[in-house]
């Protein structure tokens, strides 16, 4: 169960309205790596988790915080839109070309659809969607996904920080950046703890019998482009992070197989096929002719 308190985790109050910035801020509210994504991702991981205890409590504990981050951003966007002009009529442009200059940068649906409000979309107006989240049931994979989500999110907030001079917005972003710092650290710590405790190891999933994979190519770097520098990296020689092999470097594939012959599905799929079917086709046409007569 979830309980709501009509308070924010941090102040979300701009110094002044800014309809153009209100659009940009949608990215970290409703974008691929926005707050709705992490809120939903952590909660679905919690609901599907097969393990009681600290890992599940962790995911539950953070999921609800992220819902509160969605709220801070939505409330901030609504205020940024408070004095949003309805649009630019001819006269308005004449009066103030500077205001007109930035009008192209607004999200017109924030006005037409939401009446100067926040929306569950990204900064280009694409609706948030369930396929943004990751919850596989495998914790080492999912915590890596979480670490990535917090990194991408912090990068986006950092970029947004420089796109405004408003102290109120920067104050909120400074808070979100710090929480992203925490969450990056936390997921990396949790991923490390999974490995230390032997709950999960590399390669993920670690309990799939390695004997069933083709071990010959399991540590080969195969270079399918012509850049020679890839041979200099730590992925081209030396021990592998999973501790189970040695990297080796190869220019191009080390294996190959002939392309199988084209398939011949049932003729009634009407795909284009070669001779045998053509005969059949001719027969079909003859039948047509006979039927016509």
Residue numbers 249-278 binding a second copy by CB under 8 A: 252-253, 255-274, 277-278
Q: Which two tokens stand for residue 92?
A: 């308005």
Q: Is the peptide bond before 205 cis (omega within 30 degrees of 0)?
A: yes
Smallest distance from a second copy to CB 197, Å:
9
- Closest separation in Å from C-beta 232 to a second copy: 5
State which of residues 35, 38, 121, 195 lies at the interface with a second copy (CB under 8 A).
121
279 binds a second copy per the rule CB under 8 A: no
Q: Pairing relation of β-strands 238-239 and 246-250?
A: antiparallel
d(CA 139, CA 52): 12
Helix (H) or strand (E) holding 220: strand 220-222
Pick out residues in 200-229 that bind a second copy (CB under 8 A): 200, 202-229
Least Å from the CB of residue 157 to a second copy: 9
CB of 44 to a second copy, least distance (A): 6
Residue 285 interacts with a second copy (CB under 8 A)? yes
Sole residue written with tokens 């710090």: 178
Q: Residue 59 burial (CB < 10 Å; 0-12/13-18/19+)?
A: buried
Closest by CA to 49, choosing from 257, 194, 246, is 194
List C-alpha distances in Å: 126 to 2, 123, 150, 264, 278.
28, 7, 21, 41, 48
β-strand pairing of 220-222 with 246-250? parallel
125-154 footprint of a second copy as x/- string (CB under 8 A): xxxxxxxxxxxxxxxxx--xx-xx--xx-x
Please give the structure tokens belonging to residue 105. 């940068």
d(CA 218, CA 214): 7
* Shortest reach from residue 167's CB to a second copy, in Å: 12
Backbone dihedral region for residue 243 (phi beyond 0: left; psi -120 to 50: alpha; all else: beta): left
Interface with a second copy, residue 293, by CB under 8 A? no
Whether the CB-CB separation of 30 and 122 falls below 8 Å is answered with yes
Among positions 80-119, residues that touch a second copy (CB under 8 A) are: 81-91, 93-94, 97-98, 100-109, 111-119
Smallest separation (angstroms) from a second copy to the CB of 34: 10
The least CB distance from residue 67 to a second copy, in Å, is: 4
Q: Contacts with a second copy in 21-50 (CB under 8 A)?
A: 21, 23-24, 27, 30-32, 36, 40, 43-44, 47-50
In 3D space, the residue among 248, 252, 232, 251 whose CA is nearest the CA of residue 240 turns out to be 248
Residues 54-83 within binding reach of a second copy (CB under 8 A): 54-58, 60-65, 67-68, 70-71, 74-75, 78-79, 81-83
């Amino acid at each position: 169960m979830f309980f709501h308190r009509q308070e924010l985790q941090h102040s979300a109050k701009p110094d002044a309205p800014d309809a153009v910035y209100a659009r940009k801020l949608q990215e970290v509210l409703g974008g691929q790596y926005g707050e709705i994504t992490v809120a939903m991702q952590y909660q679905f991981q919690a609901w599907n988790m097969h393990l009681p205890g600290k890992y599940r409590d962790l995911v539950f504990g953070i999921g609800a915080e992220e819902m509160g981050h969605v709220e801070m951003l939505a409330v901030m966007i609504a205020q940024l839109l408070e004095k949003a002009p309805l649009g630019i009529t001819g006269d308005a442009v004449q009066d103030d070309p500077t205001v007109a200059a930035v009008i192209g940068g607004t999200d017109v649906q924030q006005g037409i659809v939401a009446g100067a409000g926040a929306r569950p979309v990204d900064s280009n107006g694409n609706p948030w969607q369930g396929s943004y989240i990751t919850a596989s049931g495998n914790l080492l994979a999912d915590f890596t996904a979480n670490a990535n989500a917090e990194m991408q999110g912090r990068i986006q907030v950092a970029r947004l920080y420089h796109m405004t001079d408003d102290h109120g917005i920067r104050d909120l972003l400074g808070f979100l950046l710090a929480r992203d710092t925490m969450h990056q650290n936390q997921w990396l710590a949790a991923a490390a703890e999974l490995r230390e405790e032997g709950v999960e190891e590399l390669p993920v999933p670690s309990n799939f019998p390695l004997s069933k994979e083709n071990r010959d190519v399991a540590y080969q770097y195969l270079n399918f482009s012509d850049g020679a520098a890839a041979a200099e990296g730590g992925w081209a020689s030396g021990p592998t992070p999973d501790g189970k092999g040695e990297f080796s470097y190869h220019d191009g594939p080390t294996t190959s197989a002939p392309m199988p012959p084209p398939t011949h599905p049932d003729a009634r799929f009407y795909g284009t096929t070669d001779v045998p079917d053509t005969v059949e086709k001719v027969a079909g046409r003859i039948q047509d002719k006979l039927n016509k007569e």
